[in-house]
Structure 1
Amino acid sequence: MGYFRAIIYALLAISVSTITTNAAGVRPGQIKNLVTFGDSYTDVVNVGDGGVAWPVYAARYAHLDLFPFARSGATCSNNLTFRPFPPVFESQLPDYFSQKQSLRLTPQETIYTLWIGTNDVGANALLTGSDAASIVDVSACMVNWVKVLYESGARNFLFQNMIPLQTVPMYSPNSYPNKFWTDVRNTTEWTVLMTELVLSGNAITRLMLEALAPTLHGAHIGLFDSHALFTDMFNRPSLYLNGTAPLNVTGAVNTCVFELHGTTSDCVLVSGSARDSFLWFDELHPSEQADRIVAREVAASIQGKKNRWTTWLS
């Protein structure tokens, strides 16, 4: 990761808006296999949205074979932001490499996705303090995922950046004690800091990916702007949410208000088609309807269709 740290300070002075690309990305019909890495936003077993995870929908929409390695609770590396869950570098990538030969995936027909960062920048990590890492280190780890897989033979990548986490109930100014955090906190301070961490991390990873892309011969690297997509869903929910209840971007399908420092809670669970009126499933995770939108847009990118949320850097 030293390579990335060396270039980041020189790149930060460059405005992202001045960088353009004419990269075409993957061809229509090229991709047959989808390999996913990340945290609970992507885990297909311990599903964060309370329903079906987006990779299952994306594979269905784009007619792909799915190979899921994302694990709930993960960070990019436990050496940077430790959590007692399987991280990308110390668990998910080794798991993939142990199976790589038996999977027999053709590089040209396979795309690899990574959606990570929510736990890295969150409570019990960068937001509340880490002695081992900064947002630069975490961003470098995320981008290094591309380099490591490329060196193993992978050639097609879709990098999903962090959503506007200050809009999820957990990190909003009006947050409350919940199952993810019951201690005292300054919710306004958390909102401001989370906004800065996400914006900074997304800008750094984009600059690093733009610097890395020309050095990886034959690779196709797409940047999927989850931040912009979720910002649009938050600001214009009627374009995305379609449930039978009033549209809701501040509450959640599964809301649990805990006593401060306590273990008891008051929970409300929305059922049926009304669930699709919510942007969030609980205080931290997108809803299943939001994930259907993610899946739809990711599938379009993988199929080689023009997509307003994806920029191909190579």
Structure 2
Amino acid sequence: MPRLQHLKIACTLLALAPLSLAKGVLPGQIKNFVTFGDSYTDIAYPAADGGQAWPVYAAGYGNFTLYPFAKSGATCSNNLTYRPFPPVFGSQIPTYLEEKSNATINPNPEETIYTLWIGTNDLGVNALLTGSDAPDVSIVQVRECAVDWLKVMYASGARNFIMQNIIPLDLTILYSNYSYPNRYWDAQRNTTEWNVYMRELAKAGNEITLLMLQALAPTLPDAHIASFDSHGLFTDMYNHPQNYLNGTAPLNVTGCVNSCIFALNESTGDAGDCTVAEGTDRDSFLWYDELHPSEQSDRIVAREITAVMKGEENQWVTWLS
């Protein structure tokens, strides 16, 4: 058989292959998205970035219907790293399943994508970095928990997923080597040690998660799983702010919009010595405060996630199935 005929047959078979064998979602397929996570994603917590959270922007950019379940302060599971806030497991997932069961929400699974951005509170102060209430818990368990979210959502009928990995937390002011006593931690610490340890936790956590997702993807028929490289995106924003920040003040990746310096061991209930950028100067900053991305950074996240949900090519995403 001539080689051209072989090529035609191969192309025909590829065209007839089930869509479930293709990687990623199709352009125009996604009309809804459901979000899980912490303050980075919680739309009801404007103090996280001083403005609108990225899912609100993404809903507008892509004309999507948003179903938000992320909660400020959340960890993946309070059984692993306890914090007195609604975790993904134990609160956010049960709330979603209850609303799905009673038909409060009923998005078509084929037209819906599910996102998870979690890990900041698991890795940080009062958790892995400083010692959690469960001393045997490691980065392995907390990232396995994040992957378990995907398994539970798949079992509930979800098929399209974006797993947003951990940002370079060592570049935030809280975990930098030049950090100061602030609203999140004003006790004594070795800032260099924290910076190095957090860099390793974030990088190791992301690699562990990716390996787990790569192993999981082939076992879930019809699933489309994206690994979104938040770490790479924020690293690029840090290194090349001129490509992302557009405020009227000098571009700034080492300070923040709302900076509050405290005396060592001062009560964080006090006001602190605060400096706050106003107006369009705010969009010159990568960080809103010592831990959270700025609203301009959130706009960038929204832009990139929207492209993924639209089925467009994007340098920050890897489709695993």
TM-score range, shorter chain: over 0.9
Partner of 2:58: 58
Partner of 1:97: 97
SS state at 1:204 partner: helix
Partner of 2:122: 120
Partner of 2:73: 73
Percent of aligned positions with the same letter in both sequences? 65
In structure 1, distance between residues paired with 2:89 and 2:297: 27
SS state at 1:60 partner: helix
SS state at 1:35 partner: strand
Which deviations, in whole Å up to 9, do the C-alpha atoms of 1:5-29 show, x marking residues without a partner?
xxxxxxxxxxxxxxxxx95300000
Give the counterpart of 1:257 among 244, 258, 261: 261
In structure 2, distance between residues paired with 1:133 and 1:43: 26
Partner of 2:288: 281
In structure 2, distance between residues paired with 1:83 and 1:293: 29
| Residue 129 of structure 1: how far off its partner (Å) | 1.4
Partner of 2:32: 33
In structure 1, distance between residues paired with 2:32 and 2:89: 21
In structure 1, distance between residues paired with 2:147 and 2:120: 15
In structure 1, distance between residues paired with 2:92 and 2:183: 26
Confirm whether residue 44 of structure 1 aligns to residue 38 of structure 2. no
Confirm whether residue 303 of structure 1 aligns to residue 304 of structure 2. no
Could you tell me the TM-score, scaled by structure 1's length? 0.92
Give the counterpart of 2:186 among 178, 182, 206: 182
Higher deviation after alignment, 97-106 or 204-213: 97-106
Unmatched tracts of structure 2, length 5 or more: 1-20
Partner of 1:143: 147
Unmatched tracts of structure 1, length 5 or more: 1-21
Confirm whether residue 247 of structure 1 aligns to residue 246 of structure 2. no
Contact 1:223 1:313 in 2 (8 A): yes
Partner of 1:237: 241
Q: How many residues align?
A: 293
Query: One-letter code of the match for 2:51?
Result: G
SS state at 1:45 partner: coil
In structure 2, distance between residues paired with 1:152 and 1:132: 30
Partner of 2:156: 152
SS state at 2:121 partner: coil
Which deviations, in whole Å up to 9, do the C-alpha atoms of 1:38-60 show, x marking residues without a partner?
00000000131110000000111
Which deviations, in whole Å up to 9, do the C-alpha atoms of 1:242-297 show, x marking residues without a partner?
00000000000000000110124100111100000000000000000000000000
Confirm whether residue 163 of structure 1 aligns to residue 167 of structure 2. yes
Contact 1:36 1:67 in 2 (8 A): yes
In structure 1, distance between residues paired with 2:257 and 2:23: 39
In structure 2, distance between residues paired with 1:220 and 1:50: 33
After superposition, the CA RMSD in angstroms is 0.9
SS state at 2:91 partner: helix
Higher deviation after alignment, 127-136 or 196-205: 127-136
In structure 2, distance between residues paired with 1:86 and 1:46: 13
Query: One-letter code of the match for 1:217?
Result: P
Partner of 1:200: 204
Distance 1:127 1:23, change over 3 A: farther
Distance 1:179 1:219, change over 3 A: same
Instruction: Return the index of the structure with the highest Cα Rg.
Output: 2
Contact 1:160 1:223 in 2 (8 A): yes
Moved beyond 4 Å, runs of 4+:
none
| Residue 105 of structure 1: how far off its partner (Å) | 1.2
Could you tell me the TM-score, scaled by structure 2's length? 0.90
Partner of 1:8: none
Query: One-letter code of the match for 1:105?
Result: P
